[in-house]
């Protein structure tokens, strides 16, 4: 079984979305974790945005990357430039994959505009996650 770590700055939004989709698409073929180089709590809009697509991440927690030091990861996926640049060294042979997604938590505007920003990033992460699973874990 493969071990996948999704890393972001605060483990509140983008990494949570990716963890939810990777778990969904991997369908038991991998252990998927997410963490941040800081912890900011799970963003309620991320939970709502995923629920609107049928994925429940309401039980997720915001975890610090240091909590997973003892796990031999096969893949470390960074989903923001800040995490990639500041990712602590892991003594592992994990393949590192980076994809910078916009931070929907920084969206401003009306409620509809903010919701649309979350949905747009969610959809980008869904596509990335589907491709990742197909390429690295098989269909």
Catalytic hit among 39, 40, 68, 87:
87
Number of domains in the chain: 1
What local confidence, expressed as pLDDT, does residue 10 receive? 87
Catalytic: which of 7, 8, 13, 32?
8
- 111: Cβ contacts below 8 Å, ≥ 6 apart: none
Q: Over the stretch 68-127, which tens digit does the pLDDT of each residue have?
A: 988 999 999 999 876 666 665 555 788 989 999 999 999 999 999 999 999 999 999 999
Partnered with residue 34 across adjacent β-strands are 6
Q: Would you say how long the chain is, in residues?
A: 139
Q: Is the pLDDT at 139 greater than 70, yes or no?
A: no
pTM for this model (two decimals): 0.92
The token duo for 130 is 């589907």
The answer to whether 3 and 33 have CB atoms below 8 angstroms apart is yes
**Residue 128's CB: how many other CB atoms inside 10 A?**
19
Residue-range definition of the domain harbouring residue 77: 2-136
| pLDDT over 90, % of the chain | 78
Cα gap 129→133, rounded to integer Å: 6
Mean pLDDT of the chain: 91
Active-site residue (options: 22, 80, 105, 125): 80
- Is there a catalytic annotation at residue 8? yes
CATH number at residue 79: 3.40.50.2300
Q: How many angstroms separate the CA atoms of 10 and 73, rounded? A: 20
Q: Is 13 considered catalytic here? A: no
């Amino acid at each position: 079984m493969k071990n996948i770590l999704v890393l972001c700055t605060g483990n509140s939004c983008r990494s949570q979305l990716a963890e939810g989709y990777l778990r969904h698409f991997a369908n038991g073929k991998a252990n998927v974790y997410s963490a941040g180089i800081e912890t900011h709590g799970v963003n309620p809009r991320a939970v709502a945005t995923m629920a609107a697509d049928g994925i429940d991440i309401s039980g997720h927690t915001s975890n610090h990357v240091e909590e997973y030091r003892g796990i031999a990861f096969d893949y470390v996926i960074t989903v923001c430039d800040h995490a990639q640049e500041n990712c602590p060294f892991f003594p592992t042979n994990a393949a590192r994959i980076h994809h910078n997604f916009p931070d929907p938590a920084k969206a401003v505007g009306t409620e509809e505009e903010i919701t649309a920003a979350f949905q747009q990033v969610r959809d980008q992460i869904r596509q990335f996650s589907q491709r990742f699973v197909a390429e690295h874990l098989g269909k």
